Structure 1
Amino acid sequence: MAKLAEDIRVIDADSHLTERHDLFTERAPKGYEDKVPRVERIDGVDMWVIEGKTFGKAGSGGTIDPQGNKHPFRSSQGGSWGIDDVHPAAWDTGERVRLMDDLGIDAQVLYPNNIGIGGQNLYNTLDDKSAVRMCLELYNDAMAEVQEESGNRLLPMPIMPAWDIQACVREAQRCAGLGFRGVNLTADPQDSGSPDLGDKAWDPFWEVCAGLNLPVHFHIGASQTSLTYFGTTYWPSQDDYVKPAIGGASLFQNNSRLLLNSAYAGIFDRHPDLKMVSVESGIGWVPFMLEAMDYELEENAPAWFDKLQKLPSEYFRDNWYATFWFETGRGNLQHLIDAVGEDNVMFETDFPHPTCLHPDPIEKVSEKIATLRPETQRKVMGGNAAELYRI
């Protein structure tokens, strides 16, 4: 392994936790046991069910088998694997912490799996939004327990009830009281009936998140709109194993629309302390987009360009973070990170998903990370995350 700078604290800014089958049923209030998600075996497959409706397979949520071997997506997570086929660290938090110890990872930020990375599989299933809100609160309560029991080494991002802005405000306030260090929001609340995020109706939510130091996280694939994008970018004639590679790579750049829209909408002029995170999107597209967003707005909407308090690209520097894991900068990673901003980049592993840095993430990236300036290494491998998440 190439020698890294001294005193590096590794914080993994994106990993996933597969939902245990009893996550909801063991926490359901008395009399509501049949009104929360549970797992039923249907035609030989474990499925998540709520009030008679299925909302997805209760699958593995990962591609790493119990022996630690990695498999292609179509042969594992995207195939027949159930929760017993995946490495126990994918769903057992005790096993996760033990694996982190083995790998030299101090803390991990966690996102959901089967219920939808932004919770969309859950809240798009039921018309009774009061029932869905209860389920989201049960999920968030369970994740608060995970964080507390891990001693803040596991930092789940709680899901927001995106169909109701005022409910999002209340849940963000509640989650801050539970000790969460950020929130997980779908990129497309209009999918569930709310205004899009550029609407000023969201200002009370942005104000609460900024005031409570809750960065707002947008993970790729965290909406029905983005998943549709994932499923339509490849040509139908492509091999079934190639299709997820095309869809996955397309999702990275899909997150650029969040940066563009948030900057142009004036959100950060009204809420200058608000922080947002583009999760699992990589960083290679950022420098080009910073140039494009300035050029395109001035060319197409000069009056709006002049109305903003900053250049559109400056909002990334002041208000955004992005995560990276496999990128090399084509041999000049320092140049790439400098172009993005070394204060705006965080390292991730994406465990246990198809593109994760398995089996030894730090060793896998050490050669390229070692090419960075020592201070850059400390920031991107954990310092920026430690500051953002107050750990």
Structure 2
Amino acid sequence: MKIISADCHINEPPHVFERVPEEYRDRAPRMMPAPDGGDGWSFDGGPPKRSFGIEALAGVAKEDYKLSGMKFEEILPGNYDGAAHCADMDIDGVWGSVVYPANAIFTYLEPDRGLAVACMRSYNDWVLEEFQGAAPDRLRGLPLLPVDDGMDTTLAEVDRVVAKGARGLFIPGMPARPYNDPYYEPLWKACSEMDVPVTFHRTFGGRPPDADWDELVEQNVSVPGIVNRFFSAVRPLTYMIFAGIFDRHPKLKLVAGEVNYGWVPFWYQTMDDEYRTQAAWSDSLVERPPSSYLGTNVFVTGLDDVNGHMQMAAGNQTLVNMSMWSSDYPHSVTLWPNSQDIIAQLTRDMTPANTQRVLHDNAAHVYKFN
């Protein structure tokens, strides 16, 4: 079986924004030393808010984990080099990889929107030409869509990156407008007609609507915040389904990355219950029970979710049909390089056919791996 990890990441190399037009060169984000001795990205010319750490820990023993303080030369080349990424996947027994951005998501917060869009385009060219281009049959880089910068700008970038070989598109987890807003209708229409999936990754990208222990704009990260973000897909997916988006755009495919699966059965049970219970008064925009969109239009990725795999083993076909496994290389929770052992434990009670769907078929179908 060609196992596909539907959620991996890069850590951008120093030259990723060098393709911006001349007028923006002196203000483009730069990698530089941070006060703690590590390297990090500066988006305002000042010291980096945080240096490399938890997002680049593949190859580091867990007892040596740290939040930050790593230099760029300390992280594995598989973070930023497509060929090296594939070599690391070979070590892990993984064939294909869908690759999300890292610090490039902070372009969604850049006040100068001309600079921000130029940086997104530079990143997109790099991830498609250089990173994905190293192994286009095995890698799927996800270009950033400038969804907060006008629909004409967004659609132009969709056309541009799809022509360059994009087989999936990244949208921010915290956009300026919620994704059930009519503003997005042209985007959903275009992606449905092109049959190219869109994906958000937890709360990656955009300004948080509130803050508690975490303050992600300042890159303050906490353990309870990490836990909470596994449930970050509930609201956008629920509202998009009930807004009738997938009825109007039946070929649209939306993936919520790194949210795991165990919560999904209770979620769709609740959606279906309320769809039926409130039918007498609600002005519903959906044409059938909400759970029917799962596995055809809506998908999730997860890692070592034992609870979710137990429910798959018990025969929950809806969950099987919408789930994609991932190793989350090279983040702190990555299963690399032990994915084979963990997969064997997760799938031991699943049927071979359902194991194939979760480890390969769903991702291969959505992202068009051969």
Q: What TM-score, normalized to structure 2?
A: 0.88
Query: Any idea what the Cα deviations from partners look like across 1:61-112, whole Å, max 9, x if unmatched?
Result: 63536xx233369x42x23223233233223333211111222211100011
* Number of residue-to-residue matches in the alignment: 361
Q: Which runs of 5+ in 1 are unaligned?
A: 1-7, 234-242
**What's the secondary structure of 1:363's corresponding residue?**
helix
Deviation at 1:375, TM superposition (A): 0.7
1:202 aligns with 2:154: no
Q: Aligned AA for 2:136?
A: G
Deviation at 1:360, TM superposition (A): 1.6
After superposition, the Cα gap between the structure-2 partners of 1:335 and 1:184, relative to the gap in structure 1 and judged at 3 Å, is: same
Selected match of 1:170 from 140, 152, 156 = 156
Does structure 2 conserve the Cα–Cα contact (< 8 Å) formed by 1:61 and 1:90? no
2:198 is matched with which residue? 216
Measure the CA separation in 2 of the matches of 1:266 and 1:165: 20
1:370 aligns with 2:339: no
1:4 is matched with which residue? none
2:31 is matched with which residue? 39
**What's the secondary structure of 1:310's corresponding residue?**
coil
Deviation at 1:33, TM superposition (A): 2.5
Measure the CA separation in 2 of the matches of 1:216 and 1:336: 30
Q: Aligned AA for 1:303?
A: W
Measure the CA separation in 2 of the matches of 1:350 and 1:173: 28
Does structure 2 conserve the Cα–Cα contact (< 8 Å) formed by 1:323 and 1:346? yes
1:144 is matched with which residue? 128
1:389 aligns with 2:356: no
1:348 is matched with which residue? 326
1:311 aligns with 2:256: no
Deviation at 1:169, TM superposition (A): 1.3
**What's the secondary structure of 1:318's corresponding residue?**
coil
2:61 is matched with which residue? 70
Deviation at 1:207, TM superposition (A): 0.6
Deviation at 1:270, TM superposition (A): 1.3
1:134 aligns with 2:109: no
Measure the CA separation in 2 of the matches of 1:31 and 1:63: 32
Q: How does 1:1-391 map to 2 (within 5 A)?
A: 8-25=1-18, 27-30=19-22, 32-41=24-33, 43=35, 44=37, 46-50=39-43, 52=45, 56-60=49-53, 62-64=55-57, 68-71=59-62, 75-76=65-66, 78-115=67-104, 119=105, 121-126=106-111, 128-145=112-129, 146-163=131-148, 164-190=150-176, 195-224=177-206, 228=210, 231=213, 244-299=222-277, 302-304=280-282, 306-329=284-307, 332-335=310-313, 338=316, 340-391=318-369
After superposition, the Cα gap between the structure-2 partners of 1:35 and 1:71, relative to the gap in structure 1 and judged at 3 Å, is: same
1:240 is matched with which residue? none
**What's the secondary structure of 2:196's corresponding residue?**
coil
Deviation at 1:133, TM superposition (A): 0.9
Deviation at 1:222, TM superposition (A): 1.4
Measure the CA separation in 1 of the matches of 2:179 and 2:309: 37
**What's the secondary structure of 2:186's corresponding residue?**
helix
Measure the CA separation in 2 of the matches of 1:367 and 1:99: 21
Measure the CA separation in 2 of the matches of 1:259 and 1:205: 16
Measure the CA separation in 1 of the matches of 2:32 and 2:209: 25
Q: Aligned AA for 2:128?
A: A
**What's the secondary structure of 2:144's corresponding residue?**
coil
After superposition, the Cα gap between the structure-2 partners of 1:337 and 1:131, relative to the gap in structure 1 and judged at 3 Å, is: farther
**What's the secondary structure of 2:294's corresponding residue?**
helix
Deviation at 1:48, TM superposition (A): 2.3
Q: Aligned AA for 1:158?
A: P
Does structure 1 conserve the Cα–Cα contact (< 8 Å) formed by 2:300 and 2:324? yes
Q: Aligned AA for 1:220?
A: R
Q: Aligned AA for 1:189?
A: P
Does structure 2 conserve the Cα–Cα contact (< 8 Å) formed by 1:23 and 1:139? yes
Q: Aligned AA for 1:59?
A: F
Measure the CA separation in 2 of the matches of 1:100 and 1:387: 20
Deviation at 1:305, TM superposition (A): 5.5
Measure the CA separation in 2 of the matches of 1:149 and 1:331: 33
Range moving further from structure 2, 353-362 or 333-342? 333-342
Range moving further from structure 2, 268-277 or 291-300? 291-300
Query: Any idea what the Cα deviations from partners look like across 1:177-196, whole Å, max 9, x if unmatched?
Result: 01111111013321xxxx32
Range moving further from structure 2, 144-153 or 375-384? 144-153
Deviation at 1:228, TM superposition (A): 4.9
After superposition, the Cα gap between the structure-2 partners of 1:37 and 1:153, relative to the gap in structure 1 and judged at 3 Å, is: same
Measure the CA separation in 2 of the matches of 1:11 and 1:230: 35
Measure the CA separation in 2 of the matches of 1:377 and 1:225: 37
Measure the CA separation in 1 of the matches of 2:227 and 2:118: 35
Does structure 2 conserve the Cα–Cα contact (< 8 Å) formed by 1:347 and 1:380? yes
Q: Aligned AA for 1:259?
A: L
Measure the CA separation in 2 of the matches of 1:175 and 1:331: 35
After superposition, the Cα gap between the structure-2 partners of 1:64 and 1:40, relative to the gap in structure 1 and judged at 3 Å, is: closer
Does structure 2 conserve the Cα–Cα contact (< 8 Å) formed by 1:39 and 1:58? no
Q: Aligned AA for 1:159?
A: L
Q: Calculate percent identity across the aligned residue pairs.
A: 26
- Give every structure 1 segment of 4 or more consecutive aligned residues whose post-TM-superposition deviation is greater than 6 Å: none
Range moving further from structure 2, 325-334 or 257-266? 325-334
Does structure 2 conserve the Cα–Cα contact (< 8 Å) formed by 1:9 and 1:378? no
Root-mean-square deviation (CA, aligned residues, Å) is 2.6
Does structure 1 conserve the Cα–Cα contact (< 8 Å) formed by 2:56 and 2:79? no
Measure the CA separation in 1 of the matches of 2:347 and 2:108: 40
